[in-house]
Chains A and B, each alone.
Chain A
Amino acid sequence: MRNGDSTHQEPQAIKASPPLRTEPLVEPSSTPYKELPKGPVGRSERRIDGPEKVLGTALYGADLFFGKADYFAQVVRSEKAHALIRSIETGDALRMPGVVAVYTAKDMPGTNRQGLIHRDHPVLAEDRVLYRGDGVAIVVAESERAVRRGRDAVKVLYEELPVVADFDDALAEDAPRLHPDGNIMGGKRIRKGDADAALSASDVIVSETFVTQTVDHAFLDIEAGIACWDGHLLTLHVSGQWAHEERRLTALALGLPMEAVRIITPATGGAFGGREDLSMQVYLGMVALKHPGKTIAMRYSREESMRARHKRHAMRIHYTIGAMRDGTLTAAKITVYSNEGAYASTGPAVLRKAASHATGPLRIPNVYVDVYGVYTNNNPTGAMRGFGACQMAIAYNGMMDRLAERLGMDRADLWKQNLIHSGDAVTTGQIIPIATAVECLDAALRQYRAKKQHDRPLAPHERRGWGISVICFGLGYGDGFPDASRATVRLTPAGRLEVYTGGVEYGQGLLNMAGQVAAEELGMPFSLVDVIWADTGRTQESGSSSATRQTYFTGNAVKIAASELREQVLDIASKLLPVHPHELDLHDGKAVGRFNPSLVVPMAKLIEEGRKRGYSLEASGIFKPRTVCEDFDTGQSPRSFITYLFGSHIAQVVVDMETGEVRVERYVACHDVGKAINPQSVAGQMIGGATQGIGMALMEEVVMDGGVMRNANFTDYILPTFRDVPTIETIILENDDPGGPFGARGIGEPPLIAATPAVLSAIGNAIGVAPHTTPCNPQRVWELLYPDDAQTPYAARLTTAPPHALLSK
């Protein structure tokens, strides 16, 4: 599974002088940063939460109802995409047997506002609804049957307003204003060099407009949870991605002091950014406040989940790129319209991510980027795995294919000629000390070429093709945001190692990462580790489980905490053994003499002794690296993101040239993760992410029609199945990150980002026409092949101004 060793290269930029070996007790290593793990780090330890998941005993949100729920609540949601609320008639609902109460905005005790960045989204609509799915009222009843009937009996009278269905509607001069400041939510720009001048001096200019789709997270574990207010504390068991932020937002909306809210995250079946915005926390909390002592339960149906939740931003990307005849890139000029839907959600961060990742790992001296977020009466769009970066990766990878075609160059050669190396800067001006894009591409190409499988013979109507993608990704929030993670580690009297993190485990492997780092640092067997997570009553703030940040941030916080605890333990040991702490090591659950292996004290004894002597046997760590705000006018920053990740994928497809059906035949994914703390888990993230990326490339699409979602179910919102994904050959490169725990960076988002463009590139290679619209379902591929037969060619749908005409600034 790991092919990293053969391709491991020492990064150029930090080719450091040999380590200073003045301290003979320190493990010599090849670079100053390299720490050689001896324990669980680097091993595929079984998942801590694995047994309960395979046994079916893990308790997800809806699993908490049994034997607990007193009342059930459901949300009445808007049936209109844009309307004024004239009245809400609750009488019929209240007369339904079993219905206990119906609440509307006027019953909300606090600000009634939610929103991760702007608090712009009424939890219950006050006078207006902005999308079909906005919450309007809450019904409470004694049974789920009754609550369903009660919900259907609430009558809302609307006065319909014109629907802003898409970018073009929103930007029209007479468009209805969806928010006080108009329909442009915000924007972001990059100005580097002089793109216009460089384009006019270029030998070749290629332009294209890419249209990416709205995507749903489609996690299988639908939103569900329980809540109870005991008169002092509101306890919510609801899945999210950032328990402490959910506490803040819930308290704000409900008008409670933060201390009065406790969030406990249950087992969580996937998130992918879809649990970053609040889901039902405030609804549940409000009902709990009205019914003290009662346990309130709520769950969404799949349809409600899809209609209520935010989505991935659909984007329209106008991309112009210039190059010299030898393939050297000169300039890029890029305009992006991003469909924000009804509310801002994470939108501003998505715009920024799109701008800063607009040219990916390409070295382009002159760059001009404008990104606009446009409000519409669609679902709000917000966080989803790889946000902003994945849409732009479709564009810049697509441009490289087109440019290679125009220049008559080999695609891989063109890439290598233009990829940044260690010490080069990305578009924001940030210098990347260890840039391994070329290494990733080489490793992927080697794997693809070396293990060329026996391709089946093609039918006359089939064509085969392969495609490359190369991406980079800045992890963490960056941009000067105060991003920190905290962790606590503790040795218990029972001899176990407890790790406390506020981070959420939703499948990605956070528990093992944190546990393995702590066990490594303390020389404890992994089997003795327990991880306590995402409970605002027991754990400290660790930031969100998003932005590919937990390995880097919480991994470091755990390591800092564990290394302090390690000092305590060594100190205890030195009291028992006649040696200095520096002469001791912790290994395999024991303190062992470095120079005299016969000196051994088991951890249980150390803990016992430590307790007697009044040691806390507990330590906390905080990791809070600094980033620097991007300049408002130019988007430039010396350190916009804490660190960068690189990856390259290769996909091979067969296309049916008559029907447009695409089958992915072979797939290679390579990422440089710095250090794989749990290689199986890293490979799992790579495979899962690539699978989602293949889904985005080929099939997934929320179909909105005049503000109405046409496919709010799994019959029509389709996900990749067993038959849609070939074996994904994973290559994990490990070039240590100077700042990461044991050199680790992270892996969450990049596999998805790289996957979609690799598949599109392969389709283009197979059919001879480069795709520009996702997903490339059979109809779209057929439209590329037979544009004259297609009644809805994509060009006809592009009615706004041509690229850059709006932007003469």
Chain B
Amino acid sequence: MATDSTTWQLRCTVNGRPIEAEVEPDETLLFFLRDKLGLTGTKGSCLEGECGSCTVIVDGRALNSCLVLCPQMQGRRIETIEGLANGDKLHVLQDKFLASGAAQCGYCTPGLIMAAKALLDQNPNPTEQEFFEGMEGNICRCTGYAAICEAIRSAVQQWK
């Protein structure tokens, strides 16, 4: 597909919902999700892939939504933090984050939960090395990592 026009017709799914929208080709997925769709659970922080706050899952893989241009999402399946809970019922990762005190200021939390989900979706029982490889791109500035590790490890036990 090629187009010379200045806008791009984006078709993708977000949390299972089909989306069709006209976007500027140099708009990032982060901006699109937050400021066009109002899905503000995905956070922007460093805007250079160093902190992981903006992590979403695209076709099963974790990506930094701040470094993805919208047209790259053509036909892709995007999952964000808003798609995790089932009505009032928290996703197991959300529940464990809450129980372990893994969310203090909470700003890194959506990105961490999405990174953890991508990791466990691919590998429900990661070794320590695989755990770090999956999670190391996400920075937490206020809670420290102990409670986050505990939350994800206890989610592993209930992973289906």
Contact = CB atoms under 8 A, between A and B. Distances in A.
Chains A and B touch each other in the complex, with CB atoms below 8 Å apart: yes
B136 A507 contact: no
A268 interface: yes
B147 A220 contact: no
A62 B44 contact: yes
Given A66-B38, A684-B101, A691-B145, A267 B106 contact: yes
A688 B139 contact: no
Contact of B142 (A219, A680, A715): A219
Interface string A660-697: 00000000000000000000110110011011100000
Interface in A160-192: none
A268 B81 CA distance: 18
Interface residues of A, number: 56
A50 B106 CA distance: 8
B21 interface: no
Nearest to A689: B144
Given A49-B106, A54-B103, A220-B51, A722 B142 contact: no
A62 B108 CA distance: 14
Contacts of A508: 104, 142
A219 B141 contact: yes
A220 B107 contact: yes
A65 interface: yes
Contacts of B132: 722-723
Interface string B66-107: 000000000000001110110000100111011101011111
A687 B144 contact: yes
B48 A56 contact: no
A267 B41 CA distance: 12
Interface string A687-717: 1101110000000000000000000011100
Contacts of B80: 56
A63 B40 contact: yes
A507 B94 contact: no
B110 A688 contact: no
Interface string A130-150: 000000000000001000000
A54 B97 contact: yes
B136 A221 contact: no
Contacts of B97: 50, 54
B35 A66 contact: yes
Interface in A66-80: 66-67
A272 B104 CA distance: 13
Most buried by A among B105, B107, B141: B105
A506 interface: yes
Contacts of B42: 56
A65 B39 CA distance: 11
A721 B112 CA distance: 12
A728 B106 CA distance: 20
Nearest to B111: A220
A723 B106 CA distance: 20
A543 interface: no
A506 B94 CA distance: 19
B34 A270 contact: no
B10 interface: no
A507 B142 contact: yes
Contact of B144 (A53, A221, A301, A725): A725
Contacts of A49: 106
Contacts of A293: none
A692 B135 CA distance: 19
Contacts of B94: 54-55
Contacts of B48: 302, 713-715
Contacts of A721: 136, 139
B62 to A, nearest CB: 14
A666 to B, nearest CB: 13
Nearest to B137: A721
A418 interface: no
Nearest to A224: B44
A66 B40 contact: yes
Given A53-B109, A714-B50, A507 B45 contact: no
Contacts of A285: none
A63 B109 CA distance: 15
A784 B44 CA distance: 39
Nearest to A299: B44
B113 interface: yes
Interface string B121-156: 000000000001001101111111111010000000
B46 A60 contact: no
Contact of A728 (B81, B136, B138, B146): B146
Nearest to B46: A714
A714 B51 contact: yes
Contacts of A688: 104, 141-144
B136 A268 contact: no
A51 interface: yes
A50 B51 contact: no
A55 B53 contact: no
A56 B41 contact: yes
A55 B81 contact: yes
B85 A55 contact: yes
Contacts of A62: 34, 40, 44
B44 A222 contact: yes
A47 interface: yes
B43 interface: yes
Contacts of B108: 220, 269
Interface string A212-225: 00000011111000
Interface in A29-68: 44, 46-47, 49-60, 62-63, 65-67
A84 interface: no
B101 A44 contact: yes
B58 interface: no
B104 A221 contact: no
B143 A507 contact: yes
Contact of B41 (A55, A219, A507, A683): A55
A46 B40 contact: no
Given A60-B107, A220-B108, A51 B101 contact: no
B47 interface: yes
A58 B106 contact: yes
Given A44-B101, A715-B48, A722-B135, A692 B141 contact: yes
A268 B103 CA distance: 12
Nearest to B91: A54
Contacts of A598: none
A124 B19 CA distance: 43
Nearest to B36: A66
A221 B107 contact: yes
A721 to B, nearest CB: 5
21 contacts: A47-B98, A50-B106, A52-B106, A53-B109, A55-B85, A55-B94, A56-B80, A56-B81, A58-B106, A59-B40, A218-B141, A219-B107, A219-B142, A221-B105, A506-B105, A680-B147, A687-B146, A691-B140, A713-B46, A719-B139, A723-B136
Which A-B residue pairs are the 6 nearest by beta carbons? A56-B41, A507-B105, A269-B107, A53-B106, A687-B144, A56-B81
Interface of B: 34-35, 38-48, 50-51, 53, 80-82, 84-85, 90, 93-95, 97-99, 101, 103-110, 113, 132, 135-136, 138-147, 149
Given A59-B40, A220-B105, A721-B139, 10 more contacts: A54-B95, A55-B85, A56-B109, A56-B110, A62-B44, A144-B35, A219-B105, A222-B45, A714-B45, A725-B146
